Amino acid sequence: MNGLRAYAAVTAAYWAFMLSDGALRMLVLLHFNGLGFSPVQLAYLFLLYEVAGIVTNLTAGWLAARFGLASTLYAGLGIQIVALAALAQLDPGWTVGASVMFVMAVQGASGVAKDLAKMSSKSAVKVLAPADGGLFRWVATLTGSKNAIKGLGFFLGAALLALAGFQAAVWAMAAVLAVILLAVALFLPPGLPGRMKGADSWSGWRSTDQRVNRLSLARMFLFGARDVWFVVGIPIYFQAVLSDGTAEGRREAFFLVGGFMAVWIILYGAVQAAAPRIVGGSNRPEDAVTRDAIRWAGRLVPIPFALALAVLVAGDPAPWLTGLLVLGLLGFGYVFAINSSVHSYLILAFGQAERITRDVGFYYMANAAGRLIGTLLSGISYQLGGLPLCLSTAGIMAAASWWAMTRVSHSSAE
């Protein structure tokens, strides 16, 4: 019973964090796009966020092993509150360069917070899940529900920006998150592990199991394929297409872009939660799930290439093209969600219980590296070649993820 209560408390804390994380991303993107930042400058705002994720995931596993998962979860929530309070101090009178540097630093702190919370929550599932084959189901439920909540955060961020303004929105999120942190600290029941074996040793951050390492490589390319279009390209393209240039038109575009991003993330989360049923059940052997992962990785590759071709053929924006992009990107999200959910199961299935925080930390370090690469390429490719280059680059990254996934089936623990 304590294990189930601990899982519920961890899930609630993670939901609250991801709601604020999604809202913050849309607030920053739409606010600074409205101030006239270029696509590359918008990408810069998120670079340190992703760099911080890489560094955090390399160290978070060791920190959790040394101080316990509850401590790293509290730290993630606390750092996010501090980051939000700092962002509220942004002065509109600052130069573009000063604003970019300040927001990059704050986003870096937010990146540390997010990956501390993510590593803590995902590692806790490995420890708390029942031994009757429920791991895939528990992982899918946590991951899918988290992304649905993050999707609501995307819409919440866009709505708060339109209705309350930037600073009021940031302060409101900080206050709510502080209440959540206090509640979790008071009511989290026993169940999360403390120090683990090998906690005093920093070495061994890279797994001896080649399946973990190659799955991490596939994860890096998978999330790069998403973020190439997701971070800058599609939001800026849709905002330009949907806004008529007036203040009212920009406000309506905020809601439409935020709404699309929210729906995409929510549906993505719903598919993730349903992934065990879609791929044939939650009690299948690891080899069968690995073969499924390879097939689904291959199904992702043609989608961004087909959308890039459609944009090139259309030439100029048109209603039919906007509709096609919406449907195509929802299809991308469906296939991507199954890939992501299967990966999240496999890392916990492959990972060794005595060093699970290290293996999960390394895996999410690769995840953050993929987001970093995708974020940078999103701004660069959109500025150099518009949406067609953005989507084509996503296709190349998806193909690389499929290749890396084929190598997992030829790997084994040493």
**Among residues 114, 117, 13, 122, which one has the least CA distance to residue 341?**
122
What is this structure's pTM?
0.72
**Among residues 353, 373, 364, which one has the least CA distance to residue 118?**
364
- What is the spatial distance between Cα 77 and Cα 60, in angstroms, rounded to a whole number? 14
Both tokens of 33, joined, read 């796009």
- pLDDT for 238-294, tens place per residue? 888 887 777 777 777 877 887 888 889 888 888 887 887 888 765 677 788 888 899
Partner residues linked to 209 by β-bridges:
413
Give the SS3 label for residue 277. Answer: helix
- What is the spatial distance between Cα 356 and Cα 305, in angstroms, rounded to a whole number? 37
Highest mean pLDDT among 123-132, 145-154, 305-314: 305-314
Partner residues linked to 413 by β-bridges:
209
pLDDT (0 to 100) of residue 207: 65
31 or 132: whose pLDDT is higher?
31
- What is the spatial distance between Cα 287 and Cα 71, in angstroms, rounded to a whole number? 35
**Among residues 169, 24, 27, which one has the least CA distance to residue 108?**
24
Do 173 and 82 form a contact (C-beta atoms < 8 A)? Answer: no
pLDDT (0 to 100) of residue 202: 47
- What is the spatial distance between Cα 381 and Cα 173, in angstroms, rounded to a whole number? 32
**Among residues 127, 109, 129, which one has the least CA distance to residue 192?**
127
Q: Is the pLDDT of residue 350 over 70?
A: yes
Architecture of domain 2-191+208-408: Up-down Bundle (1.20)
**How far, CA to CA in Å, does 30 sit from each of 162, 168, 236, 251?**
10, 15, 9, 10
pLDDT band with cut points at 50, 70 and 90 for residue 327:
very high
Residue 259, C-beta contacts closer than 8 angstroms, at least 6 positions apart: 155, 158
* Least reliable range by pLDDT among 87-101, 184-198, 290-304, 373-387: 184-198
What are the residue boundaries of the structural domains of the chain, listed by start? 2-191+208-408
- What is the spatial distance between Cα 161 and Cα 154, in angstroms, rounded to a whole number? 11
pLDDT (0 to 100) of residue 12: 74
- pLDDT for 194-242, tens place per residue? 455 544 454 555 666 788 889 999 999 999 999 999 888 888 898 888 8
Q: Is the pLDDT of residue 44 over 90?
A: no
Do 76 and 63 form a contact (C-beta atoms < 8 A)? Answer: no
- What is the spatial distance between Cα 356 and Cα 363, in angstroms, rounded to a whole number? 10
**Among residues 276, 3, 6, 286, which one has the least CA distance to residue 131?**
3
pLDDT band with cut points at 50, 70 and 90 for residue 96:
confident
- What is the spatial distance between Cα 288 and Cα 286, in angstroms, rounded to a whole number? 5
Q: Is the pLDDT of residue 392 over 90?
A: yes
